[in-house]
Amino acid sequence: MTQRLAENPLSTPTQPVPFDRIAAEHVVPGVRALVEASNADLDAIGNDQSTATYDNTLLALERATEKLEYAMGLVEHLESVATTPEFRAAYNTILPEVSAFWSGVPLRPALWQRLLAFSKTAEARELAPTPKRFLDKTLDDFRRHGAELDEDKKRELRDVDQQLSQLTTRFAQQVLDASNAFELVIDDEAELSGLPASALAAARDSAASKGKAGYRLTLQAPSVTAVLSYADNASLRKRIWSAYNQRATEGELDNRPLVREILALRRRKANLLGFANFADLVTQDRMAKDGKTAQEFVAALSERTRAAFERETAELFAFRRELEGPESSPLAPWDVGYYSEKLRRSLYDFDEEELRAFFPAERVLGGAFDVAKQLFGIQIEPLTDMPVWNRDVQAYRILDDDGSALGVFYVDLYPRENKRDGAWMHGLLNAVPSPATEPPQTHVALFCSNANPPAGGKPSLMNHREVETIFHEFGHLLHHCLSKVPVRSLAGTRVAQDFVELPSQIMENWCSEKTALDTFAAHYETGAPVPAMMVDRLIRARNFRAASAQMRQLGFAAVDLALHIDYSPERDGDVNAYANSVLQGYAPTKFPESYALIASFNHLFSHSVGYAAGYYSYKWAEVLDADAFTRFKSEGLFNRRVGVAFREHVLSQGDAEDPMQLFKAFMGREPRLEPMMERQGLAP
Ligand SMILES: [Zn+2]
């Protein structure tokens, strides 16, 4: 076993990471051996009879799982970007074993006693702030995961967790199955009038792929969005809207009973662990600290948005009457997207596609790097001859001002069949001081996107949203690679869910400022900068109906918190009706009774935790990023002094300090809601 483990490229963190040497056959034996080794190390910590010290408890705990975390991170990464049937099978085999290992860590009585014993020593009382925070957070984390429960209650907790994991997995699968079970094939093109040519072509291809003639509409996002935004036929819009918003409500695939069960299990779990509700349990280590604070945040923002929201709704109805006469009927839910799109075009006549020519992928990447170099005083250089998982992947070295190495990162821009959708950053290694026997490490991270690849002699040309995505993921990457935190569990992006998007979202701001755009955006043929008028239109078109968009997000946040804090089946009855009554308060039109958004609300119900009682985080982080950006806006977009302050107080700090303290250290005060409202054109 030892012999084989030594040969396994997953067995120990090495640099450069040997991406090209890891195969499916390494996954199961490699990860199993590491779980075994971690188990032995954790036993050893618990059984240690010597005086409890920081080194032989907390630091030993960190080290006990370091290699396993690295190996699993690498396996997850390769599963996302270069999977094969064999690799996926291996991944699926070890995933439940590794999950069981992690949930078992806080339930080890000897380990818990040992941590408690250390917490009572003189050394613990005199720890420096970061190790002290590590101790406190570890104790809290163990408690929140059941360390203090007696054996019966621990069994109950394991049981609840297992049921939650099964039910939430089933929830997600049923959303997928119910979505895929729907299709609407239309023979007569006239019924699809209004749809853009690209949407018609996609519908025709979709029908052809099923061996059918005509146009096939599905419940996949591009198809639904095209119909709801462009189809002139109101009954077609109604049909698609209704099918989409009643997904997973029929027969065997009905998710509503699962929602009720999941909520009950989450409440039971929270109560078992001494919390009043699930929101209090999961927000305890976030900035919000408790569910009520998150609810107050949502309420305060709704209050400030409501007047503009009502004005936008009235304007939309007035626009319809202008088009169709004073007798036209009030707006139905399936009319909102359609008339909004018409109004938007009448006001702005702006085609986002025209902007692509100014955003070749190479220039966008270079632009993001330059912003970081100028602001944070770092250098970025391409690396050749590095092992990678695909030949399109580019590696870079990131250096500090004085030339010292900070880390290595990889960029993987284009789609492939064996790569998953979307864009993301993944931190593979955190450079923290290691035992002297190991070579010093630097940070390792990567980010992925799925932009249009170069084709027909043209470079990859990005739309503005894709440009923002590159800056966003690069912001997460900087948070990882500029970390100076000496404790791995508190380093880089391992911060509260309602804080983690600050470093990423703030970077997006440099994509909407003309002076910043001029440093990198240029027409791929003529080299001309983006015309000022186009930037102006882009911003105004984006802020179109901003209050309505914000209310929609706040509605999701409000229903999420209401379900996880206030809802009582005995008092409030049917869960779907209850959720609808909350959502109705944030909607521009009256929902039919059959509306069942929560039956397909994956954010809340497709993971044991996921974004449950966390949907508010999106807006919360938006408030932080808009507010923090005001310093750059007033003191200079490329002001090194402000950049260095942001690096010092936020990017380098991980979770070494309470995030509110970090924010205050940078801004000199607590966050304000106004800058976000202003950025969206919603300031009074
Ligand atoms: Zn993000």
pLDDT tens digit sequence for 286-306: 999 999 999 999 999 999 999
- Predicted confidence (pLDDT) at residue 439 exceeds the cutoff of 70: no
Torsion sign over Cα 597, 601, 605, 611: negative
- pLDDT tens digit string along 516-544? 999 999 999 999 999 999 999 998 888 99
pLDDT at 338: 97
The predicted structure's pLDDT at residue 221: 84
pLDDT beyond 50 at 2: no
Give the lowest-confidence range in 75-79, 389-393, 434-438, 653-657. Answer: 434-438
Say how many Å lie between the CA of residue 555 and the centre of ligand 1. 21
Give me the count of residues in the chain: 684
Coil vs helix vs strand at 259: helix
> Between the CA atoms of 416, 83, 205 and 450, what dihedral angle is there, to the nearest 10 degrees?
-40
Reduced to 3 states (helix: H, G, I; strand: E, B; else coil), residue 530 is: coil
The predicted pLDDT at position 351 comes to 78
Q: How far is the CA of 476 from the centre of ligand 1 (A)?
A: 7
Phi/psi at 409 (nearest 5 deg)?
Answer: -140, 160
* Residue 552 CB neighbour total at 10 angstroms: 17
- Strands 424-429 and 443-448, by their bridges, are antiparallel
Distance 473 CA to ligand 1 centre (A): 6
How does residue 455 score in pLDDT terms, banded at 50, 70 and 90?
A: confident
In 3D space, the residue among 390, 561, 396, 571 whose CA is nearest the CA of residue 478 turns out to be 396
CA of 467 to the centre of ligand 1 (A): 14
Model pLDDT for residues 414-431, shown as the tens digit of each residue: 988 888 888 999 999 998
Residue 213 and residue 152 in contact, taking contact as beta carbons nearer than 8 Å: no
Q: Which residues contact 352 (CB under 8 A, 6 or more apart)?
A: 463, 464, 538, 541
Instruction: Give the mean pLDDT of 259-263.
Output: 98
Q: Other C-beta atoms within 10 Å of 439: how many?
A: 9
| pLDDT(440) > 70 | no
Residue 107 and residue 145 in contact, taking contact as beta carbons nearer than 8 Å: yes
Q: Which two tokens stand for residue 392?
A: 């399109």
Band of pLDDT at residue 456, cut at 50, 70 and 90: confident
Burial string for 250-263 (b: 16+ CB within 10 Å, else e) reads eeebebbebbbebb
Q: Residue 72 C-alpha to ligand 1 middle, in angstroms?
A: 21
3-state secondary structure of 219: coil
Query: With bands split at pLDDT 50, 70 and 90, how would you rate the model's confidence at 4?
Result: low
Q: How close is the Cα of 502 to the center of ligand 1, in Å?
A: 8
> Mean pLDDT across the chain, nearest whole number?
95
Q: What is the distance, to the nearest Å, from the Cα of residue 647 to the centroid of all Cα atoms in its chain?
A: 22
Q: Counting beta carbons within 10 angstroms of the beta carbon of residue 449, is it exposed (0 to 12), middle (13 to 18) or buried (19 or more)?
A: buried
Q: Is the pLDDT of residue 281 over 50?
A: yes
Q: Which DSSP string do the residues of 359-427 spell out, in sequence order?
A: -BHHHHHHHHHHHHHHHH-EEEEEE-S---SSTT-EEEEEEETTS-EEEEEEEE-S--TTS-SS-EEEE
Residues facing residue 396 across a β-bridge: 382, 409
Q: How far apart are CA 505 and CA 516, in angstroms?
A: 16
The β-bridge partners of 424 are 448
pLDDT over 70 (residue 594): yes
* Other Cβ atoms within 10 Å of 99 Cβ, number: 13
Residue 549, pLDDT > 60, answer yes
How many CB atoms lie under 10 A from the CB of residue 505? 22
Closest by Cα among 477, 392, 465, 381 to 427:
477
pLDDT category of residue 434 using cuts at 50, 70 and 90: low
Q: For the segment 95-136, what is each residue's pLDDT rounded down to a tens digit?
A: 989 999 999 999 999 999 999 999 999 999 999 999 999 999
CB atoms within 10 A of CB 351: 12
Output the pLDDT for position 400: 96
508 has catalytic annotation: no
Q: For residue 5, what pLDDT is reported?
A: 54
Q: What tokens were used for 47? A: 């059984």
Only one residue has tokens 């009448």, namely 346
Nearest to 205 by CA among 230, 222, 225: 222
CA of 569 relative to ligand 1 center, distance in Å: 35
**How confident is the model over 337-366, as a mean pLDDT?**
91
pLDDT for 438 equals 60
Class of residue 626 by CB neighbours under 10 A (exposed 0-12, middle 13-18, buried 19+) = buried
Structure tokens belonging to residue 386: 């590095």
Q: Which of 79, 466, 473, 622 is catalytic?
A: 473
Assess whether pLDDT exceeds 50 at residue 188: yes
pLDDT computed for residue 422 by the predictor: 86
Q: Which of 65, 73, 176 is nearest to 427 (CA)?
A: 73
Q: How far apart are the first and last CA of the chain?
A: 68
The DSSP code for 461 is B
DSSP H or E run through 25? helix 24-47
- The SS3 call for residue 637 is coil
Look at residue 1 in the predicted model and tell me its pLDDT.
Answer: 44
Instruction: 411-414: list long-range contacts, CB under 8 Å, 24+ apart.
Output: 411/365, 411/446, 411/447, 411/448, 412/81, 412/446, 412/447, 412/448, 412/449, 413/361, 413/365, 413/448, 413/449, 413/450, 413/451, 413/453, 413/460, 414/449, 414/450, 414/451, 414/452, 414/453, 414/460
Q: What is the mean pLDDT of residues 375-385?
A: 97
Count of other CB atoms within 10 angstroms of residue 508: 18
Of 192, 187, 237, 221, residue with least CA distance to 207: 187
pLDDT at 506 over 90: yes
- 497 alpha carbon – ligand 1 mean position (Å): 10
pLDDT at 437: 43
* Position 684 pLDDT exceeds 80: no
- For residue 3, is pLDDT > 50? no
